[in-house]
Amino acid sequence: MAQVLEFKLPDLGEGLTGAEIVRWLVEVGEVVAVDQPVVEVETAKAMVDVPCPYGGVVTARFGEEGAEVPVGAPLITVAVDGPADEDGPPAGERRSATDGSRADGSRAEDARAEGSGNVLVGYGTSAAPARRRRVRPGQPAPSAPVTSPTSVPSTANGRAATATAAAVGRASSAPDRAAEAVDGPVPVISPLVRRLARQNGLDLREMVGSGPEGLILRADVEYALRAAGTQAGKVRTPVAEPHPRVPQAPAPARVREPSQAHAPAVGAPAAPEAVRIPLKGIRGAMADKLSRSRTEIPDATCWVDADATELMRARDAMRRFAEERPRSPAAGGTKISVLALLARICTAGLARFPELNSSVDMAAREVVRHPAVHLGFAAQTERGLVVPVVRDAHTRNAESLTAEFARLTEAARTGTLTPADLTGGTFTLNNYGVFGVDGSTPIINHPEAAMLGVGRIVPKPWVHEGELAVRQVVQLSLTFDHRVCDGGTAGGFLRYVADCVEQPAVLLRTL
């Protein structure tokens, strides 16, 4: 009998706990060689082709494309030559189809000793244990296809087993279900199929699968359930047994559960179900970090409106100067972005209020002030929200900040950000104005202590020099960790940023 080996998702390194199935490279029933890639997975850091250390026939795949698989969970099962158990064949085990004798037990040891040589991190392939299954003691194997409920042995499942037998009888009468039931382990199936059968009281040993080598598929279980529902008159009721029972006192009437009392009739259109979207990959990691931030950090938010007209004029003046005098050493070759100007204002403000460039170590009960400003900025991508980090932002000018923002934004869109690009931030700048909104209460990027939010810059009525005028107005909001500072420090920082936005010449005092 072929030995069924289970290949589990190995440890892919760098502390990763799981991966997402992107594309299956093999089908059930396909022959695979040792070290042949069988599935392409995506972690939070890279795309990986996972090779299988066994050679044989693929009997099952676990997980659909797009599913999240934890490390150590089964990926596929492969049938290789050899017995299922080296300790000796279990009771009721099939004999060899060629010579009628059981295979030599040494073949199992050979199969386990065979190594692929392609060892992944933390996953040795030279001593993979076989997946063992034994026949349940005391359960005889049927010698002919099941065709009626009375031909199925009585089991502890009671009425469910009888209904199952009727369904299996109907399934086995079809041309594609004419194979005979045999001894040995239940054909390897998906955990979802096992759970579906268990919840509905189906004994998988009494079913004949329509997949390769008799593999039981989800469609087989659903067919059996539909057949059982039709046989039982749409409601599960006791079926007459082959021998009469001793008369008993009538049992008290049972109140059906709501799921049974209000179950829709067979053939009625099913009610729409809620859509469940798994939190995985980048979105799952961001969900964990934001939840931790809300749980651990006692945050507070303050905000202020600022007249950004002069800041926009200063940026336009830089652009015009570069266009009119391209040969001038002061012209530069990069168009300065508004985000770079705001980042330069932030670094100047953090130099005055270093409390906000810190984090809290609750284990040591200390506030850690960071000497360098590693400025993170929120970037929305197709894969979710990411926060790339500009290293040593306090040492960069507006041109350098513009270039680095452009590089990291492009890497975020193409999915080529490295772990170093996404870690180590000390303060975050969130420009949610690109979404066309004015204000927000940002969630601090744990373990940082503050985040500055910037809304859209739009023309609004504003009192300027004692007269009502239309000015370019922006709303600034600061969310801060109240453990590192009080409202006076947070308000002072926000006011300094607003003053620099309204009068960029203020920055000349600190350059």
Of the residues 370, 394, 464, 482, only one is catalytic, namely 482
3-class DSSP string for 54-69:
CCEEEEEECCCCCCEE
* Token pair belonging to 162: 């009888």
Distances (CA, A) of 442 to 178, 409, 467: 63, 20, 33
The residues near 44 (Cβ < 8 Å, ≥ 6 apart) are 16, 281, 282, 285
Question: Which alpha helices (DSSP H) does 179-308 contain, by range?
Answer: 191-199, 218-231, 258-261, 281-296
Q: What are phi and psi of 314, to 5 degrees?
A: -65, -40
For 13, other C-beta atoms within 10 Å of its C-beta total 13
For 142, other C-beta atoms within 10 Å of its C-beta total 16
User: If you write DSSP's letter for every residue of 309-374 in order, what string do you get?
Assistant: HHHHHHHHHHHHHHHH-TTSTTT-SSPPPHHHHHHHHHHHHHHH-GGGSEEEETTTTEEEE-SS--
CB 206 within 8 A of CB 168: yes
Q: Is 421 helix (H, G, I), strand (E, B) or coil?
A: helix
CB 375 within 8 A of CB 383: no
Q: Is 6 helix (H, G, I), strand (E, B) or coil?
A: strand
Active site residue 482: yes
Catalytic residues: 482
